[in-house]
Amino acid sequence: MNFIAMDFETANHYRASACSLAIVMVRNNRIVDRFYSVINPQMTFDANNIEVHQITAADVANAPTMAEIWPKIQGLFEPGMLVAAHNAHFDTDVLKQSLARYDVEAPHYLVIDSLATSRQFEPKLPDHRLDTVSEHLSVELWHHHNALSDSEACAGILLAEREKWGDAAMKQFVYHI
């Protein structure tokens, strides 16, 4: 499988408030590269969000905005690229809304959601949260709600499921944005 796995953390309940982003590149079923950055969302931080991911306004005060990060990662989101996330609706919407704040058109790409795949392939789990699925599949999740750790775990989940269920089973979950 060739894909990128992405994960965002947000400063508050607005999806346009991305405060960190990680992208893990998978080629031939192996993680080959990683990208991580904190992001200055130019918005206030909510205490509940800080409690989850431990990123504060001070941590991102000198960080680039999404508009400044986008040119560095834009090429990864070409049409036909497969992008993975755990609860992909959230992460794809964060990307779209964070770009829209800067009048940047969101890219079109293929998506696979490891939350959806885990619900199908592991229906007896008590829940399908990233940490639960990672533990069940023996996929390392070294710091839940750290975007890099979460994106690596998402990639690991999809690779473990592909190994167990095959490419054809995985393809049924791919959709276009």
Over the stretch 102-126, which tens digit does the pLDDT of each residue have? 999 999 999 999 999 999 999 999 9
CB of 22 closer than 8 Å to CB of 6: yes
CB of 154 closer than 8 Å to CB of 86: yes
Residue type for position 78: E
Give Cβ neighbours of residue 161 (< 8 Å, ≥ 6 apart).
114, 117, 118, 121, 137, 169, 170
**What is the number of domains present in the chain?**
1
Give Cβ neighbours of residue 59 (< 8 Å, ≥ 6 apart).
38
Domain span including residue 116: 3-176
Give the pLDDT of residue 139: 98
Give the pLDDT of residue 166: 97
* SS3 category, 151: helix
Q: Percent helix, strand and coil across the chain, each rounded to 5?
A: 40, 20, 35
Residues of the chain with pLDDT under 70: none
Residue type for position 134: S
**How high does pLDDT run on average in the chain?**
97
CA 173 to chain CA centroid, Å, is 16
Give the pLDDT of residue 109: 97
Give the pLDDT of residue 7: 98
Q: What is the domain-level CATH number for residue 33? A: 3.30.420.10
Give the pLDDT of residue 41: 98
Give the pLDDT of residue 108: 95
* CB atoms near residue 71 (< 10 Å): 9
Q: What angle do the packed helices 66-73 and 88-100 form, to 10 degrees? A: 110
Helix (H) or strand (E) holding 73: helix 66-73
pTM above 0.95, yes or no: yes
